[in-house]
Amino acid sequence: MLMMAVLLPAISRGQERVEKVDAQHQFDIQYAQAGMKYAFEDYKGSAKSWQKKFRRELADLLGITRLQELYKDFVPTAKQIDSEDIGFATRERWHIWTEPTMIIPVVIIRPKDIKGPMPLCITPQGHNANPEVYSGIANNEKELASFEAKHANVAYRIAQKGFITINPTTRGFGLTRHADDIAAGKRSSCKYYHQRGLLAGRAIVGDRVWDVMKVLDWALANLPVDKNRVVVTGNSGGGTVSIYAGAIDERISLCAPSSCFCSYEGSIGTIYHCYCNYVAGIMQLCNMGDLAGLVAPRKLLIINGAKDDIFPIGPAREEFKTTKAVYKAMGVAENCEMYEGNGGHRYYAEGFHDFWARHFKK
């Protein structure tokens, strides 16, 4: 009897042993037990002190600190591939080296008659089979009409408003896919990058944020852009890259993630999503409302669809309360807004254009 007592697992008070495994319930318990070290509502110091410590640990978790150590002397270079006249602008294809072994194809749209430094908008793509969707490059007229109807031609629309836009292929898509996925005609290599990068302590979200940072390095050094008017915006997977980039890179003056914002447990923790949404241990640091708070005091627009079934609006609204609390604590509540489109999982250009026009024209 004594031996049996030793071998039986201890059950803490209030934690009853189940008779049948419910996997999602097990995950829910894990989320509830996650440390969320930088939950803003529990933090007792100043908002700036919270940000400084939090951003440093987030950079570590994403693998960006290690990349900065490895490539401290690395300067991104680029090669132009082609150029075309699209009326109001020239549209160019470039390759930008964000690591010695990583080439990111980008499309740059430059409005004509540039007078002085222009605002810059970097638009990391989402899970599009065509990485150039955002720049209005389609395979046929039907596809082009679909882009227009769903506001998927994000960079093209923004360039029409007087921005230089850079539409980078998101790492794991297009020419950056694994050879096996290219041969099989698969849309992306998110699984390859996620699983194999883990072995080296790399998070695919962190790699994609790094790409945005290096594209920005190159743009500030080589394009006639205003360093005080740098925007990052994208939809879905592109929105995810945008919000993490805004949290890490303080050169970004306006961050507008679309169709990606929610509590972790209310979306990617309970609803099927691509591998690339997951960062090991992220809930030990924060929830997404805290993450977005790292953008403060800079401009932040959260764009969500009221009928988005994979980033539900209910928990998104709750997380936004946390983000708003950070902005209020820093005395800039007016710099943070949430726009709700009346549809589902897509970009809502009207919300973005209204926000940047009000803030950049002040």
Residue 21 lies in a domain: no
Q: Which pTM was predicted?
A: 0.94
Residue 1 lies in a domain: no
User: What is the reported pLDDT for 150?
Assistant: 84
Residue 56 lies in a domain: yes
Tokens of 211: 């790409």
CATH number at 266 reads: 3.40.50.1820
Query: Number of folded domains in the chain?
Result: 1
Residue 9 lies in a domain: no
Tokens of 280: 């090991």
The tens digit of pLDDT for each residue in 55-91 reads 999 999 999 999 999 999 999 999 999 999 999 999 9
User: What is the reported pLDDT for 73?
Assistant: 96
Residue 98 lies in a domain: yes
User: What is the reported pLDDT for 16?
Assistant: 74
Residue with tokens 């294809």: 93
Helix axis angle, 237-248 to 47-62, nearest 10°: 120
User: What is the reported pLDDT for 39?
Assistant: 97
The tens digit of pLDDT for each residue in 268-292 reads 999 999 999 999 999 999 999 999 9
The rounded radius of gyration (Å) of the Cα atoms in the chain is 21
CA-nearest of 305, 306, 238, 321 to 277 is 238
Residues in the chain: 362
Distance of CA 137 to the CA centre of its chain: 22
CA-nearest of 201, 192, 154, 155 to 173 is 192
Q: Which domain holds residue 283?
A: 33-360
Average pLDDT taken over every residue of the chain: 93
User: What is the reported pLDDT for 15?
Assistant: 66
* Contact (CB, 8 A) for 334 and 300: no
Alpha helices of 152-278 — where are they, by DSSP H?
A: 154-159, 179-184, 190-199, 204-222, 237-248
Which residues of the chain, if any, have pLDDT below 50?
Answer: 1-11, 13
Quote the CA–CA distance of 211 and 123 in Å, as a whole number: 12
Tokens of 220: 């500030």
Q: What is the dihedral of CA 291, 297, 301, 307, to 10 degrees?
A: 40
Residue 3 lies in a domain: no
CA-nearest of 227, 287, 321 to 34 is 287
User: What is the reported pLDDT for 59?
Assistant: 98
User: What is the reported pLDDT for 81?
Assistant: 98
Q: 103: number of CA atoms within 13 Å, CB side?
A: 10
Residue 28 lies in a domain: no
DSSP, collapsed to helix, strand or coil, labels residue 176 as helix
Residue 108 lies in a domain: yes
